[in-house]
Structures are given as structure tokens and as C-alpha cells.
A and B are shown apart, each in its own frame.
Chain A
């Protein structure tokens, strides 16, 4: 290849390359900054216009200038060129520019490789079934473009079909490698800091409005599948970050001391279930209150929060058991109780004053104080809304006495504040409440809009007790779901709306499929791989065994292909075979007849058919040299012609041909 000048690409090849480039770019487009997407689209349009008008490609210096300018724009936009998003933006940019520089086959091939690469980068953003289907289509199109690059005369449909056939043949190999290639848990090295941007979920802190923000998202937080019957809807409190510190504005997690033993003893009804947690890049897991076992990936903090050993950056599955009726913390340490009473001095004076006056009224009865607070919410006509008004510095005061409109975090925060002000140890617990049972596959789906915050108070005889002020105002939020709790006209996320029942059914089916997909394809990690292979009968699978099995099975597959490649010699047309037999017979027969004395191997009359000789020409030549069989040979040639080129090959004709050749 080196040294020889490469032929320029034809217009047809260029067109296919542009189509392949477009196919690789489109799925990425939604994840790129808008201006870059538009610019890339413009470059493609420009390239197509050049092709249409058969104009020459732009000079190299202009391209270099454009690339430099766009690189600068990307650097300014992201304020860096490192990291995942800027790298992909840069890759897309270079890719688009390369389409303007496809002169020779080499450029075309470089473009195809880049296109294959871009196909993979879309999975950094989404790995849904739709993306997988898109990947198959894109790869088929790009492969067809590669086919046409290698064989200019090939038709488009034919190239697409050929690409599809080859990919279908590659599929068994893919499956084998996918199942058996020893998986390792990434990352191999430090990932750029923005690698997990765009993941939604609860955070370490809570301020007014932070959870109602999540209420607008119908992304899935996690799925749970119970081995028996799931608990009642009102018991589905999925415990997440426990927020003990309050600085007047926001609530945050305390320093926690994680252990791998339970600080309380299990009691009551147990529920066993498996959680499939979507990545949220935070170091905690979710479990029903209160967890009765600790999964190997996690630890239990002193405030009963289930922590993950490493931030959850890929979908995580864990089996866990919970006891909803457990009471914990009867002998809570004084340090924790002290922390649960902490309040910033001089904040929210009105709320503090009210709490103190209530305490003076009621005396030492903590339970009565709690009931008074809940009654206060009900009596003062507090309303539950997804779009609460913005609050100022003394947010609790403003909420309790002025705005009186809020989402669960407002209620939880004000409740815990009041309790602390009245001398009751209390803390805010965030997490999810509820979940939706998918009747198709029986899994409980918990979405981001089910994010919730509630309170937890400590009582001497009962330990830590959950008190959910939201339930006091809108019981239906807890008994049923978010949609029933919100007043009409609130902007609900699409999937939280109660209408379009048939759509819901469709969604359940789709979600069940997506769940299977997540479990078996996307969640195929080292643990799952070992489990799966062990189920298939591989004893204690490790990477050596996997490699050996993979190699062996690939070998078998390849041997199959080798047989296909070698053994598919087309069976020769029987008429042609008979005709060749005649030629060989005449070749042998010639010298024997002429020489008279036995078979002479050398010489001969040259009666064999020349490769380029048609049946009629051959028959005439033989007829001339061997006049005694002239009539017969002409007849045989006529039969052969009819059989081979006449369209309908009949068995009788073939029989006659064979007979006559034998008799000759």
C-alpha cells in the first residue's frame, strides 16, 4: 500500500461516508452543547452541498483555521479541554471537519474508524434499549459505507444487506465474548471529574426547594423486588441520608461512624428484597426502615443510614432484609443526642419562641408536644405544593408564619426545628417514600419524584420514632402517591400523572423490559458474570477459566466458519459435468484410435475442449476432425446447450445427455 498513490474517492463513496458520519453523529447530538450540534449539522450540509455541486473541497489551511477556532470555542465554553464532555465535543468537531477532508481512500477509512468510535461514546450518556438498537443500525450503515469504499461498483441495497449479513455472522462471536470475556470493575484510572455529571438524586444537604426540584423528575432511582408480599404503601419509607446538622439555612449529614454490625436487634416481620440501584455517584444505599442486614457493598452508620463503601457509579444490585416495626436507639449515646438538639443561635426567633411557649404550656409530655405541632400544620391550613415560594434567611419562621406553602422538606425541616427548640432530640431523614408496583414483572419502581423528607424524634422509652409531618397534612401522599396529594394544576412529571391508563400499561411493559435489560445486559458486572457462569455449570469461575472457555468456544465457532469458507464449493451443474466428461473422453480417445497400438499418452489430436470454446464451436471442431461421429456430437452439443442455457433443465434431457456421452 505504501508508496502507491491512493485513488480519490468517488462521489458515491463520499455520499455514503457522509451518511455514515451523520448516523454516528445523530445519537450524540442531544448531549452536545446546542451551538456545537448546529455547527456540526452545518458542516454536514456544507459537505453535501459541495458534493452535490461537484465543487472541490475547501483548502487545508481553511480547515485548520476552522478547527482552531472551534477548539477555542469549546475551551471557552467548558473552561477546559480535559474531561469527558469537552473531549467528546472535540472528537465530534474533528469528526465533522474530517468529512470536509475526505479526498482519498485513506481519509475515508479514518472517517469510518472515527464513526465506529463515536457510536460507542453515546453510551457514556445513555445505554437504553433504544441506544442499543441505534448502535446496531449505525454500525450497519457505517459498515455498508466501508463496503462501498472497498468496492465502488457495489449497489447500496446490496452493501447494506451484505453488512447486515456480516454483522449477523459476527453476532455469535459477540455474544460469546460478552458473556465470557473476564470483566473487571472499572475505572482503570482516575476518571475526569465530570464523568458522572447529569445524575439526579438526593444530595448530602437539604435546603428549602431541593427536594421539590427532584419532584419534577421521573427518572428511576431504584427498583426493588420483594421475595414475598411487599409491605403496605404507607410503610415504604426508603431511608437515605440522615441530616442532623443545621446551620440556619441548610441541613447536612453529620460525621457518621459506619460499622458492619447492627446497632439494634432485629424484631418483627421481616421483608426480603433485592434493590437495583441506579448510579447516583453518592456513597449511600437505600433500604426500607430499618435495615436488618447489611449488604457486602455497604456499612451501617450510627444514625442507621446505609452507606456504600464507594460512590455508586454503576448500577448496583444488593440483597437486603428490613424490619419495618423495629425500635432502635433506646440507649442512644449522649453525643448523638446532643447533636440532635443542636440549633444555630439566634436563628428563626419566632419559631423558637413558639416552641418554648408550647413547652411551658404542656410540660414534659413529649408526645403531646409532637401532636400539637402536627395539629398546628392542619389548623393553620398549610398547603402542599411542588412549587413553594422562595424563602429568605429565617426560612423556618417564614414558612411557619408567612408563606405556609411548602413541599415535604419544608414540613420536615420546620418540624425538626420546632422539636429541637422544645428540647426533643430530632433529625431530618431524606429518602424516598412509596414506589409503584409494575404488574408485568412484579418489581417496585421508585422514581425521583418520590423523593421525600421526614422527621425522626427520640423518646426515652421508644428510642427513635419516625414522624412524618407531610402525612399529617396530606395523608394521601403517603397512602397513595404524589399525584393524589398535590392540588389540581400542579406541574407533575409525566409518569406521575394518573391519566392515560393505557399509556401506563404500555409503560409498565416497557419498564419491565428495561429492567430485564438493566439486570442482564447493563448490569453484567464481574459478580453477575461469576454468578451466571456458575449457574451454567462452571465451577468457581475465575478469569483463567473464562479465558480458556472463551478461547475454546471461539475456536469452535471459527472452525465452523472455516468449514463454511472452504467447503462451500458450489456443486457443479450436472450438465456441465457431463460436458466436461465428454471432453475428457475425447481427449483420451483420440490417441488410442489414431495410434492403434494401445494407449499412447503423448501427442493426441488435441480433442480436449479449450476453456474458451463454446459448445457449438467445439462440436464443429470435433465433427471436422472425427467425421464419423459428427452427427452424434452435434446432437450432444444441442442437448447440452438446451440443458445449460435453455432455461428449463429437465431430468430426461440430462439422462439422455449422459447416456449418449457414455455410448459414444
Chain B
């Protein structure tokens, strides 16, 4: 790391004073809001110095007045900028789970207890673009921070830099906060996956012409291995960009779908297995099936619905991580 970067890191550690992650709500007290002039502020003071020299040289009384008024404005800007940020309340709100490779969205609740709005508040995560937001007077607003989620598991919200240079852009006030907040990152669903392991009975007994006995059970994403006659053409025709779906039929006996770790080929490594299972969970959920998940260290009994789906994906996300 470069010396300046090193220094910056030290400063951030000091600025947070070892409190990370902090308990909410975080209040930006006056001791943790820092204020320094921006480049524009330095240019402004240089211009004022030049103007002052001009006023002295030409004995311009109103020149003095102008320079002093503008200097006063610069000084007042410090307080306005500081006030714009100080005593802002920050609380973690929610961070909906995402699939690895996507973007996690951390939602922070910014609360302003003052009778004046706080304008142009900028939030920034390391290496990410800034988000600018206005916090209206006497209320709160949710700021959403985007962060790439490359790996499954818990994604901890890194320290957030909250800054503002409102009103004049001459001064910047900033503070670092590290709210206790994490986002669950599911494994990436495999792009290519075999059909759902529907159980032994399904293929043998029901694949014949005994169409009348088949109960339509739902739809799922079409896969190369699905027979053509199972494509849900009607569903596909409804929207132009709709993906091809395959009809699923519940067999004669209502079968339970078990998504099993051990059933996968032995040559696959852990991440590939998780990825495949994730895909299956998603497929099964989309087809509104009832399924169970069996991992080496955990078994989730068959069920259906969002909660169940989340539980399965969470188990997959945290496999071997807890």
C-alpha cells in the first residue's frame, strides 16, 4: 500500500475509534465530523487574497468591503457545511439477499431531526461511486448503497464515508460510519444444470401417452433435456421476451423432490455443487414445487414457498462458512 493510503487507513481507524461495527442508531456527533476546505475552497481563498492585494493597492474601500464580505461568506460556509452533516442519525435498515456476482443493496435509514433539510448528502463505500441524497426536514429517508457481491456468504457492509460540501462546495465535512449490517449472498445459480431430479417414478410411469392421468403441476424454466411437447407454448406466446417454460406434471403419486448433495457427481467441487443446488432450488421454487434439501451437515424438510426457498438458499450460502 502506498504511504498515503496507509496514512488514510490509519486516519479512518482513528476516526472510527475502534467502534466498528457500531450499534445503531449512529449519531454523527460533533467529534466525529471532520471539516476541511476543498480544492475549490483553496482556489477561493487564493482569489480573495489577490482581490485584497488589489484593494490595498488601489485604495478601494469598497474593494475591501467586497473581499471581507466574501471572506465572511467562506467562513459562514464552514458552519453551514458542518451543520448539514452534524447530528445526522444513521441506522441500518435492510439488505435484501442477492446472488453472488450481483450487486448487494444496503439500505441505510438517514434521520434528520432538524427543521431544515439536509441537502446533497453523499454516501460512499470504498472503491464505489458516490450516492447523493437529500434528507428532508424532520423525517427520515432511505439511502441505498450498492456493493458488488462476488462471493457467497455474509457480505459485511464496509465503513461508509458520509460527506457533504453543501452549500458552497468550498468546504467538505465528512465522517466515517460502520453500521452493523450484513447482506446474505447466495451462491451463483449454475448456468447449465441438469433437469430437476424428479425421482424414479416420474420418468418411467408417466412419460407414456397416459396424458389424461397427468395432473398439471406447474411450470419451470425450459431445459435442453426437456421433451418438446412439454414446452408451455401458450405461456411463451404471451410475452415476446418470456423465457421458454416447461410444463411439469405431478405424477400419479405426489412425489417429493429431494435435492441432494450426495446425488451429485463426485467429480464436482464444493462451489460447483452449491451452484448446481442453488439453480435447482430456484427452478423448483419457480415451478412452485415442494422440495427438500439435503446437505452433508443439514437437512431441510420438504416444503414450498418463499420462506422455505430463502431457508434453503441461506443454508447453501452459508455452507461451510459458519
Contact = CB atoms under 8 A, between A and B. Distances in A.
**Binding partners A and B:** yes
Interface of A: 1-2, 105, 109, 113, 116-117, 119-120, 123-124, 127, 131-132, 135, 139, 143, 146-147, 149-151, 153-154, 162, 166-167, 169-174, 177-178, 181, 183-189, 191, 195, 313-314, 521-525, 558, 561-562, 564-566, 568-570, 572-573, 611-612
Contact of A611 (B63, B80, B109): B109
B82 A565 contact: yes
Interface stretch (B69-77, B196-204, B228-236, B278-286): B69-77
Contacts, number: 170
A166 B73 contact: yes
Contacts of A612: 93-94, 109
Contacts of B79: 561-562, 564-565
Interface residues of B, number: 59
Given A120-B63, A186-B59, A166 B43 contact: no
For chain A, what secondary structure do more than half of its interface residues adopt (helix, strand, loop), or is it mixed? helix
Interface stretch (B161-169, B206-214, B262-270, B304-312): B161-169
A173 B71 contact: yes
Interface in B137-170: 138, 140, 165-169
B242 interface: no
B62 A521 contact: yes
A654 B285 CA distance: 49
Given A1-B38, A169-B76, A525-B59, A139 B82 contact: no
B138 to A, nearest CB: 7
B19 interface: no
A232 B67 CA distance: 45
For chain B, what secondary structure do more than half of its interface residues adopt (helix, strand, loop), or is it mixed? helix
B61 interface: yes
Given A150-B166, A564-B79, A117 B56 contact: no
B223 interface: no
Interface of B: 24-25, 30, 38-40, 43-44, 47, 50-51, 53-73, 75-77, 79-80, 82-83, 86-87, 91, 93-94, 109, 111, 113-115, 119-120, 134, 138, 140, 165-169
B76 A314 contact: no
Given A147-B168, A169-B76, A612-B109, A116 B61 contact: no
B62 A171 contact: no
A99 B65 CA distance: 27
A521 B61 contact: yes
Given A166-B80, A170-B75, A188 B69 contact: no
9 nearest interchain CB pairs? A170-B72, A173-B72, A177-B68, A150-B169, A174-B68, A565-B79, A565-B83, A174-B69, A611-B91
A113 B66 contact: no
A570 B60 contact: no
5 contacts: A105-B169, A120-B63, A166-B73, A566-B83, A570-B114
B59 A313 contact: yes
Contact of B51 (A120, A170, A566): A120
Contacts of A178: 64-65, 68
A119 B47 CA distance: 13
Nearest to A520: B61
Nearest to B169: A150
A589 B62 CA distance: 67
